Amino acid sequence: MSLTSTPTRYVLLAALVGTLACAPTATHAQAKPPAKAEAKPAKTLTIDLTEIQKPWTGDLDGMIKRHTIRVLTVYSKTFYTVDKGVQRGAAFDAGRLFVE
């Protein structure tokens, strides 16, 4: 036996153990899915969704009256994120400046 064959054996043994560790077992293949728990009724919303989902277009006076604008942005650490209940990001800052 030469010294160069010993590391090769360790590599082959490690590959075999890794393959067997990742292979599915018979119990995983035959396991039944867990029974679904009964769905609890959802809490009722205090906001009327139909009112929120109505389109708002071309009504600057209405936006001023409602004191509400919508800003479409991506959720990322740079543009918009909520950290411990505080809104942060470049899009949030730009929206605040627009409102002011």
Q: pLDDT by residue (tens digit) across 8-66?
A: 777 777 777 777 677 666 555 556 666 676 666 667 667 777 877 887 677 778 778 87
CA dist 11 → 1, 8, 16, 19 (Å): 16, 5, 9, 12
Q: Which helix (H) or strand (E) holds 82?
A: strand 81-83
Tokens of 80: 């918009």
Question: Which pLDDT belongs to residue 28?
Answer: 56
Helix (H/G/I), strand (E/B), else coil: 87: strand
Which has more confidence, 39 or 82? Answer: 82
**pTM passes above 0.75:** no
How does pLDDT run across 83-98, given as a tens digit for each residue? Answer: 888 989 999 898 888 8
Which pLDDT does position 30 carry in this prediction? 59
Q: What is the predicted pLDDT for the residue at 31?
A: 61
